[in-house]
Amino acid sequence: MSEWNTDLIRRYDGKGPRYTSYPPALAFHEEIAETDYLAAIEEGNAARRPLSLYSHIPFCQSVCYYCACNRIVTANRQRGAVYLDDLLSEMRFRAASLDSQRPVTQLHWGGGTPTFLDDGQLTRLMHHTGRLFRLLEDDRGDYGIELDPRTVDRARIGLLRGLGFNRASLGVQDLDPRVQQAVNRVQPLQLITDSMDALREFGFHSVSVDLIYGLPWQSESSLARTVEQLVALNPDRVSLYNYAHLPARFKVQKQIEEAALPAPSEKLRMLARAGSMFEQAGYQLIGMDHFARPHDALAKAQQAGRLHRNFQGYSLHGDADLLGMGVSAISQIGGLYAQNFKQHDRWQASVQAGELPIERGFVLNRDDLIRRDVIMTLLCDMALDYAALGEKWSVPIPEYFTRELAALAPMEQDGLVQRHSERLLITPRGRLFARAVAMHFDLYSGQTPEQHRYSRIL
């Protein structure tokens, strides 16, 4: 069990990257050329690495006031049809440079709301994905989709399963009617229950739900009621995210009444109580804000030392090259990160001109690769084996990171880490603060002009 100590949470709750990449995305720059991308693809072809495909569908029919995602709010369904044409063009362009025998072990559609597309468009997108890439046909791949419960029913969920999806993520956020009204996302408990029942009926391998704490009119007791109701539905995974109120950056958040937001001290109690409740209900804290049932593949992968982390969060497929397609999507191919244009019109113009729609990215050097390995290993395994990592990179880890390891002394005094001659361990007490531990190995931490844009660690 983790220790949900509010004093420690307050002490270490600074701002920092979520480390879906290293270097973090704020370090990306525009000096990335198509030749960099094609060279990375060729290296991946030669290594015969599997593929992870991500398709971004940015549309939502209504706006959620807390949202910080790259999305387009519209009721015009024709925009989805035009976007789909452009997305398929980008897919064809990217597939042309790939070894067609590389299997797709992971696939994910996110947004926005992927189910903004109608049944025919969803079918068309999956059909063309299967024509362009080598999808697995035996249900072994991890093929997931993000669902807004308000946009699906039993028939649609059955269609999605028939298209090959076997994992689903439901945006719940909160089950209190007053909170839902305040953030413009009204979805009764019965709607969530019906969606989860259908997902299980059609044999989805894993169902995950997202919750947010710190929303208007939330309190420690109201969030506890939401957790109780959610635990009764028995999702396989839960993500518990911290709401960051940044109306100057995300204008839609101006719709939220600031006086209704819980005080920082209340947020701390909300996090501590909710986290404790999930663990008492049998969930394991995988790391950061993710929980999973012991039977879930995510928990099993962590126990076996096979857990990875990338732009899709905790993943079972860190060995795969991630191809991100659609507006704002990010690819991770070996030692290259490449992000598409965030503005829809620029992405569309680039695709329609037959160009790769990359706006910015990063090519990692050897030190970046070593540090990425260290950071991701700590966040996934909660431990660092010096000998194993040293053999992999041909460097003496304790000497290479002398300064960084020494800087962990205060965390060791607080019982968050243990420094041994052979390894570094994050203790059960420190599991909640893994991001803070990882930041010590981040060469770019504090160097990014936009450092203030990072979310709080807890």
**How confident is the model over 195-213, as pLDDT tens digits?**
999 999 999 999 999 999 9
The percent of residues above 90 in pLDDT, for the chain, comes to: 82
Residue 432: which pLDDT band, with cuts at 50, 70 and 90?
confident
| Local structure of residue 15 (DSSP, 8 states) | B
| Domains of the chain and CATH, by start | 1-22+366-458 (1.10.10.920), 23-322 (3.80.30.20)
**Selection from 88, 87, 80 nearest residue 131 by Cα:** 88
Assigned token pair, 32: 């990335």
Residue 244: which pLDDT band, with cuts at 50, 70 and 90?
confident
The percent of residues above 70 in pLDDT, for the chain, comes to: 97
d(CA 283, CA 274): 11
Assigned token pair, 161: 């399963």
- 235: helix, strand or coil: coil
Position 389 pLDDT exceeds 70: yes
Residue 458: which pLDDT band, with cuts at 50, 70 and 90?
low
d(CA 83, CA 116): 12
Radius of gyration of the chain (CA): 22
Other CB atoms within 10 A of residue 416 CB: 24
Cα dist from 250 to 98, 116, 170, 245, whole Å:
37, 22, 23, 9
**How confident is the model over 45-102, as pLDDT tens digits?**
999 999 999 999 999 999 999 988 888 999 898 999 999 999 999 999 999 999 999 9
In this structure, of 265-279, 343-357, 435-449, the range with the lowest mean pLDDT score is 435-449
The pLDDT score that the predictor gives to residue 300 is 94
**How confident is the model over 257-316, as pLDDT tens digits?**
999 999 988 998 999 999 999 999 999 999 888 999 999 999 999 999 999 988 888 888
For residues 406-410, give the mean pLDDT.
Answer: 96
Position 331 pLDDT exceeds 80: yes
For residues 401-411, give the mean pLDDT.
Answer: 96
Mean residue pLDDT of the chain comes to 93
Residue 447: which pLDDT band, with cuts at 50, 70 and 90?
low
Return the ∠ at Cα 328 (arms to 326 and 329), rounded to 5°: 60
Do residues 247 and 198 lie in contact, with contact meaning Cβ atoms separated by under 8 Å? no
The pLDDT score that the predictor gives to residue 294 is 95
